[in-house]
A and B are shown apart, each in its own frame.
Chain A
């Protein structure tokens, strides 16, 4: 499934609208940067509460499909600008992490 299809199906709001043609492999839910570095995989949709600048670096390093900020939160303008420059899509969801992860899990058919 492409990022565009996931965005449409889950009603996500693109804050940095890029890479909509990317394939979303699976999801990854974590607020620990080292956990993401160790275990997220390329193409994962990274669901997190973190929204500082290092998130962009970690997202790029791992090649995640996009970062999703939950509960309607959004990173600062500076972070969004850096994400745009670095080519990291950032999305925002109204739901909390649990609900969003559940909806994504179902959307992707329960397996990567």
Chain B
């Protein structure tokens, strides 16, 4: 893991619950900011996917939360946190195909059970912590300056 270095940019984006129709806005803004900082296209692409999936998860399944973008010279970090309900079995949600999405969300094309696997796949480091009744925190780190076509 790279040593902690100077923060080039830090932004906090609140994500309200049930506002999935607006979701996607944070990932659009994150990609715009990263491009503005001259991040590699592959880093922008991966961060966009991680952010979109995380944003959808907060909007669809939680009581709301926030996304923090931290850009350092070597890494892009995305921190997702929400106010619950929390995830009882983390290993289960990492399984492709597992989903707790209600029917209405599935009809809109969500709930494929690929959100968290997609986030993990597009991150170089991926940590998820959760406590039922409290909430979930995800820390996704993407290394800059390397090409990892996934």
**Within 8 Å CB of B109, what residues of A?**
31-33, 48, 50, 54-55
**Interface size class for chain B?**
20 to 34
A-B contact count (CB 8 A): 61
Contact (Cβ within 8 A) B21 A52? yes
User: With A53-B21, A54-B21 in contact, is A35–B114 under 8 Å at CB?
Assistant: yes
Bound: A86/B28 CA distance, A = 10
Asked if A61 is at the interface of the complex by the 8 Å CB criterion, the answer is yes
B82 → chain A closest CB, angstroms? 18
Across the interface, do A58 and B52 meet the contact criterion of CB distance under 8 Å?
yes
Interface centre among B27, B53, B110, B114 (most CB of A within 10 A): B114
**Which one of A34, A52, A86 contacts B114 once the chains associate, using CB atoms below 8 Å?**
A34
- Prevailing SS type, chain A contact patch: helix
CB-contacts of B12-71 with A (<8 A) = 20-25, 27-28, 31, 45, 48-49, 52-53, 56
In the complex, how many residues of chain A place their beta carbon closer than 8 angstroms to a beta carbon of chain B? 19
Q: List chain A positions with a Cβ less than 8 A from chain B.
A: 31-35, 37-38, 48, 50, 52-58, 60-61, 86
